[in-house]
Chains A and B, each alone.
Chain A
């Protein structure tokens, strides 16, 4: 619709241009007509929606939000129990979604950056491994990968003393246990008490499986974005830096990355938004995110349209917020014209 109005031309000597040939008028008329059609279509759809909902006695109502939910949520950062109203349940789900998205963003960025940089390594093995990882992961649907991580990897882990143990980390079927600050602000590792692991930080395997899936999947795409950004920096920049005596890392840090970021950040924005939306696949691995809570709510209340509207609004807001932050970042890394 971006029809550029051409600069006003001097009138041809003699005749007056009729308005329907006037380049200053026609684009406006066309745009107004298209806009009107779009508005009419929306009005028709909304009117139809309201009419049908009224006929079915299902006109939008939000009273159910204050009724007790009646179901429990397995893990929640904000206090929740079955007597609390539906809106609290949805809020708990939203917090769980945001938690998965935030940790996922950080993890996927770290992994993606490392793999993207590895594609430029002089080590052939590392370079090949990075390529294989990207090609394998980005060509398998995320849902399959999540089901794989949960049912094949995490649910086949042993429990108790047989659990997988690394310094500060224990991975068992009952969850992922991490060292952290315990009581009295002492550094505390995971401990086995009566056959049950205890640690300052405990993640459920559902959360761990979702995070692993999201990070591995988005990491592959981010790696490609990073690789593309680095490749966009002319080879001469590397050579110039090298002729000044800078090493590989110093070249990357001071010469290449600042230029590459201008290309990387917009691409990163898309990947971040995808990750936030993909987090709704959590329901496949039993993690109670916003979508999972909304689904239960929809079934218990029968308020399908309202619940879907809440979902739409929540994911839209989340993604717009991510875009806002990324656009700010984009502004920061652009070339400053002086």
Chain B
């Protein structure tokens, strides 16, 4: 029985596609997923698509955002070209099925890492390092005069269905014994349209998402975030358990972005750094990291200089953050937990050794 049969039949049977990716994959170093991406000549990346700061379409028609830059870095490392990416907009209900069926190679879509999503008995995802540490917040109109969760008692709250947000909301409100009415919508567009239409007095989601969406409101100043942080939301790119070699490659490309910032390597100075590493045989750390010596790239099935390619394409993590959600963006989010570990944050790359 050929693999084609395994792929074609159950997908057409249930339209779920969930089953195809579950066919036993050949183990070893060679990643079937990476081979598929290389022969196809482009990376298919699942993104949100309508979330300013993370993944959205610029007036020029290009995708941009923090999640998009992760896709670009991976495409650059694997294919040598950050533009060889096909973006797929996925809503929160579609995303896991799309990843499991192999419809997208990489899910870079502000997705919270949780136990049940990671576990083989749950969604069976394989998470890369977290690229944005977030928390759930609540956005209300300033005019409503609401200042904390208690002010929401008995009020309708808009929430996107199929998200961790929905469960956290239920948990927090139950803890504090606050009755409320959840109004659930399938897409974030519908959710925010209902909020702006005045159907709900509040909308809840990740704080970064609320800040991002607020920039696209007609009057952003008339809405405010409540101080309450309702949950931990580590937003993390993901692949599936079906291909551990591919998951490793993605994991270390993201770590490369973190390490580049820590080592002071930027999009602007990377060529100088490579020249410096080549000239000076004593810079062992730098030489290994940039692929001048050693075979780290090969161990992952990537080119030796995959970090150089990724950083050239997207910049280091700090640059990606600043450009998309930090001071150089409309969102103007604080680095907060997303600082490097040396600065008291949680961004920490294990050693390239």
User: Nearest Cβ distance between residue B177 and chain A, in whole angstroms?
Assistant: 12
> If A74-B156, A298-B162, A302-B122 touch, does A151 touch B197 (CB 8 Å cutoff)?
yes
A288 to B184, CA, bound (A): 7
A45 to B5, CA, bound (A): 10
- Chain A stretch 244-292: residues in CB contact (< 8 A) with chain B: 283-284, 286, 288, 292
Q: Is the CB of A155 within 8 A of B194?
A: yes
Q: Is the CB of B13 within 8 A of A71?
A: no
User: Nearest Cβ distance between residue A184 and chain B, in whole angstroms?
Assistant: 26
B181 close to chain A: CB less than 8 A: yes
Q: How does the 8 Å CB contact mask read for A174-206 relative to B, with 1 for contact and 0 for none?
A: 000000000000000000000000000000011
User: Nearest Cβ distance between residue B200 and chain A, in whole angstroms?
Assistant: 9
Q: Is the CB of A48 within 8 A of B199?
A: no
B198 close to chain A: CB less than 8 A: yes
User: Nearest Cβ distance between residue A288 and chain B, in whole angstroms?
Assistant: 6
> If A70-B170, A82-B174 touch, does A49 touch B198 (CB 8 Å cutoff)?
no
Q: Is the CB of B162 within 8 A of A173?
A: no
Q: Is the CB of A56 within 8 A of B124?
A: yes
Name A residues whose Cβ lies closer than 8 Å to a Cβ of B.
44-45, 48-49, 52-53, 55-58, 70-75, 82, 151, 155-156, 159, 173, 205-206, 283-284, 286, 288, 292, 295-296, 298-302, 304-305, 308
Could you list some 5 contacts between A and B, CB below 8 A? A71-B170, A151-B197, A286-B184, A295-B161, A301-B116
A263 to B166, CA, bound (A): 48
Q: Is the CB of B162 within 8 A of A55?
A: no
Q: How does the 8 Å CB contact mask read for B87-106 relative to A, with 1 for contact and 0 for none?
A: 00000110011000000000
Q: How does the 8 Å CB contact mask read for B64-93 relative to A, with 1 for contact and 0 for none?
A: 000000000000000000000000000011
A300 to B171, CA, bound (A): 14
A254 to B185, CA, bound (A): 49
B272 close to chain A: CB less than 8 A: no
- Chain B stretch 156-198: residues in CB contact (< 8 A) with chain A: 156, 158, 161-163, 166-167, 169-171, 173-174, 180-186, 190, 193-194, 197-198
Contacts of A173 in B (CB 8 A): 198-199
Q: Is the CB of A308 within 8 A of B167?
A: no
Partner of B161, one of A70, A159, A206, A296: A296
Q: Is the CB of A53 within 8 A of B184?
A: no
Contacts of B158 in A (CB 8 A): 286
A-B pairs, top 5 by smallest CB distance, nearest first, are A155-B197, A56-B22, A299-B162, A52-B19, A302-B122
Contacts of A55 in B (CB 8 A): 22-24
A283 to B121, CA, bound (A): 28
Name B residues whose Cβ lies closer than 8 Å to a Cβ of A.
5-6, 9-10, 13-14, 16, 18-20, 22-24, 92-93, 96-97, 116-117, 120-124, 156, 158, 161-163, 166-167, 169-171, 173-174, 180-186, 190, 193-194, 197-199
> If A56-B124, A304-B18, A305-B18 touch, does A70 touch B199 (CB 8 Å cutoff)?
no
Q: Is the CB of A71 within 8 A of B167?
A: yes
Q: Is the CB of A52 within 8 A of B190?
A: no
The residue among B92, B183, B184 with the most chain A CB atoms within 10 A of its own CB is B184
Contacts of A205 in B (CB 8 A): 199
Apart from the given pairs A49-B14, A286-B185, A302-B117, 10 other A-B contacts in the complex at a CB distance below 8 Å = A56-B120, A72-B180, A151-B194, A284-B190, A286-B190, A292-B184, A295-B161, A295-B186, A299-B161, A302-B116
Q: Is the CB of A308 within 8 A of B14?
A: yes
Q: Is the CB of A53 within 8 A of B170?
A: no
Q: Is the CB of B10 within 8 A of A48?
A: yes
Complex: chain A residue closest to B124, CB-CB: A56
Q: Is the CB of B184 within 8 A of A49?
A: no
Partner of A156, one of B92, B167, B180, B197: B197
Complex: chain A residue closest to B186, CB-CB: A283
Q: Is the CB of A295 within 8 A of B162?
A: yes
Q: Is the CB of B194 within 8 A of A286?
A: yes
A49 to B10, CA, bound (A): 7
A73 to B183, CA, bound (A): 8
Q: Is the CB of A71 within 8 A of B166?
A: yes
Contacts of A44 in B (CB 8 A): 9
